[in-house]
Structure 1
Amino acid sequence: MASEYITIQSKDSGHFRAYLALPPRGIGPGLVLCHEIFGANATMRELAHIYAEEGYVVAVPDLYWREEPGLEFDYTSSDWQHAYRLGEAFDFDLGVEDVGATLDALRERPEVRTETTASMAGRRERPDTPVSAPREPGRGLFGGAGGVFWRGRRSAKESGGAGLGSREGPHDAGLTGPSEREAPGGLSVVGFSLGGRLAYLAACRLEGVSCGVSYYGTGIEDHLDEANHLSGRLVVHLPENDKFVPETGREAIASHFAESRNVEVYRYPRAERGFARRGTDSYNRPAATIAYQRTLGALKREMGPYFDLSRLWDTHLMHTMADKNVDAIMKGLVEAPYLNHVPTRTGGAGKEKVAAFYRDHFIGQMPPDTRLLPLSRTVGATQLVEEALLSFTHSNVIDWLLPGVAPTHRYIEIPLVCVATFRGEKIHRLQTYWDQASVLVQIGRMTADAQPVAGIECARKIVNEDLPSNELIERTPT
């Protein structure tokens, strides 16, 4: 990931540095990250690279330059006390000016797209419209005309319909062409704690801010009247346990924006200030994950970039199930991917372990008669959820599904749910869920009569709603 330090001229003729991280494509909307009281430290630089992977040109300004250029702190007790004193003395009016100067610097860079969604609304595709790109004649997702099943290279005519890789009409994207639609661009500000208040104030005071995102910003409740000047979107993340923002303040913020159409306020039960700060005691993964998804959702709605996650997922399935090409699979993943099959805890973390898993325990272990029937697909800003029906004969060892179990040569059908989280154009996390009890019943390792479980009936009812319900409830308790 390309990065450098740049020098920015302040409104009062001073100069300060900002850390700049560029996206993989080298061009994208602009984003200013405003640091906490700990300065533009390694945590903020790492976060800049994460947002850059999402497709943004990211700048992290040194907002302490007026006190001492280059100040940054760790999270030790002594550093915390020093950082707290600086935060207490911070001049937020000058800070907003420095954020504005950083936005101006981004606006002048050739890598930054600044045309807003509003100015492009009349001439671009909707964000939820697939990419239009040419398809190789006669070729669908797995080599046919768009096969509903994965089964070698079965075609749509053979399987009886359109499916995983096919789209009808003018939005037939196929697997060639760019994965990014025409993206508008813009400039936004995301900030944390001290930077969270700056992000809020910048969205209210500065022109041309597409979206402001505040993570546990202090003192916002004292500036609610400034929201009358908002021209873009605002997102506010409020942890439940925040000793610097009292409950009365959080309630005031939530109540003030309750009817606003361009402001989103989210509350996070049991989360503390700093819940999005990785590597510290305050980090709360569930809260941080959903807050990040909400942040990306707002940023993408206002300024892009828009990636065709459905097409990217189809490509991943093709390389995994049809081509069985580990190198091609890994090219579609981030540098530090996470793979987890939830019922069996098989997979891996990190590129080497994930590649080894695909090579040694997945590719080549799917039985010859394997079929994958897609049932539904839900696509969000950063995630894709696929519901599918997997069927096969257990004719060989399948490490990821039945580790340590010899082939039983029984036919099995399993409803699957795959959750793929993307970072930009690449898969970051992939988790797959299924009912392992149903699998064990089908291979004879568990007796359905003695347990509140079912076998192949679970899969059959997924595709046939007319099958009876509540049969387990109607059993006589034992």
Structure 2
Amino acid sequence: MSERIDIPTDDGSMPGLRFLPGAGTGPGLVLFQEIFGVTDYIKARASDLADLGYVVLVPEIYWRLDDAEIDDTRDDVLQQAMGLMNSLDWLTTVADGICAVAAARDDEHVDGGVGVFGFCFGGGLAFNVAASTDVDVLVSYYGSAIPGLLDLADKVTAPSLHHFGLADDYLTTDTVERIRAAVSRDGVRFETYDGAGHAFDNPDPMFHHAEASAAAWRNTVDFLATELPVAGR
């Protein structure tokens, strides 16, 4: 179950969702969306993380845009989503992400550290936020912006987990290896998945790779249990 929340920023309240674990409290995770927005898929993954014992905040990153609705009855859903993403000011978006981390740290339900987690667009945003403010962990699924952010790699000091498919037309194998070289250090796990394309965790048949999705989730659960443990688990 989720509830609507308001996340304070310098320009007003950013809407979001909060997912609580059964215990009512736990470590915090700020989950950043794909380019498609806060979809049923993102909500499902937030619920999965809450089931593991985390308090999950999902900010609606498109909140500053006048028209952030995607018409999924049309054939150009991907183009619509790309248009929304490209309408964002990146530095302002990172600032909003930092505000979401601050809100998680202030949340009365959060007991323990706070990490950032993101898919695709959100994976790159999580990486930049982790480089810009103190977080306890970073989990990034095929962060699409990371190739342009590698100069920030030394500033990401939190334990980190990166997932990439090796059949990704958007992030080629050479690009993935360039990312690996830049981010690798003690405390970083870098997982790759043969045959998986971009957005392989998304259940849409256009993207989904069941084997890679399951393996990546197992790796994620293991990483979080080690680096951001839930009391009593």
TM-score w.r.t. structure 1 length?
0.46
How far 1:191 moved relative to its partner? 0.5
- The runs of 5 or more residues in structure 2 that have no matched partner are none
Residues 305 and 40 of structure 1: CA distance in aligned 2, closer, same or farther (over 3 Å): same
Which one has more relative contact order, counting CA pairs under 8 Å at least 6 apart? 2
The correspondence for 1:91, drawn from 89, 92, 95, is: 89
Residues 186 and 51 of structure 1: CA distance in aligned 2, closer, same or farther (over 3 Å): same
Residues 44 and 76 of structure 1: CA distance in aligned 2, closer, same or farther (over 3 Å): farther
The correspondence for 1:191, drawn from 98, 101, 118, is: 118
How far 1:40 moved relative to its partner? 0.8
Q: Is the 8 A contact 1:211 1:298 kept in 2?
A: no
Deviations 1:344-368 (A, max 9, x none): xxxxxxxxxxxxxxxxxxxxxxxxx
- The runs of 5 or more residues in structure 1 that have no matched partner are 114-184, 309-478
The correspondence for 2:190, drawn from 258, 265, 285, is: 265
Aligned partners of 2:159, 2:66: CA distance in 1, in Å? Answer: 33
Residues 278 and 33 of structure 1: CA distance in aligned 2, closer, same or farther (over 3 Å): same
Q: Is the 8 A contact 1:31 1:189 kept in 2?
A: yes
The correspondence for 2:127, drawn from 200, 224, 249, is: 200
Superposition RMSD in Å: 1.9
Moved over 4 A (4+): 72-76
> Could you tell me which residue of structure 2 aligns to residue 296 of structure 1?
221
> Could you tell me which residue of structure 2 aligns to residue 57 of structure 1?
55
Aligned partners of 2:182, 2:146: CA distance in 1, in Å? Answer: 11
Deviations 1:97-145 (A, max 9, x none): 11111111121121101xxxxxxxxxxxxxxxxxxxxxxxxxxxxxxxx
> Equivalent residue of 1:238, what SS?
strand
> Could you tell me which residue of structure 2 aligns to residue 233 of structure 1?
159
How far 1:75 moved relative to its partner? 8.6
Q: How does 1:65-84 map to 2 (within 5 A)?
A: 65-68=63-66, 71=69, 74=72, 77-84=75-82
Aligned partners of 2:67, 2:30: CA distance in 1, in Å? Answer: 18
- Which protein has the larger Cα radius of gyration, Structure 1 or Structure 2? 1
> Could you tell me which residue of structure 2 aligns to residue 438 of structure 1?
none
How far 1:284 moved relative to its partner? 1.3
Q: Is the 8 A contact 2:153 2:182 kept in 1?
A: no
Aligned partners of 1:69, 1:105: CA distance in 2, in Å? Answer: 25
Identity %: 32
> Equivalent residue of 1:15, what SS?
strand
One-letter code of the match for 1:305?
A: V
Q: Is the 8 A contact 2:127 2:156 kept in 1?
A: no
> Equivalent residue of 1:186, what SS?
strand
Q: How does 1:279-290 map to 2 (within 5 A)?
A: 279-290=204-215
Residues 307 and 285 of structure 1: CA distance in aligned 2, closer, same or farther (over 3 Å): farther
Aligned partners of 1:228, 1:23: CA distance in 2, in Å? Answer: 33
Aligned partners of 1:109, 1:40: CA distance in 2, in Å? Answer: 21
> Could you tell me which residue of structure 1 aligns to residue 5 of structure 2?
6
> Could you tell me which residue of structure 2 aligns to residue 213 of structure 1?
139
Aligned partners of 2:210, 2:131: CA distance in 1, in Å? Answer: 30
Q: How does 1:339-354 map to 2 (within 5 A)?
A: none
Whether 1:247 and 2:173 are equivalent positions in the alignment is yes
Deviations 1:167-191 (A, max 9, x none): xxxxxxxxxxxxxxxxxx2101110
Aligned length: 233
TM-score w.r.t. structure 2 length?
0.92
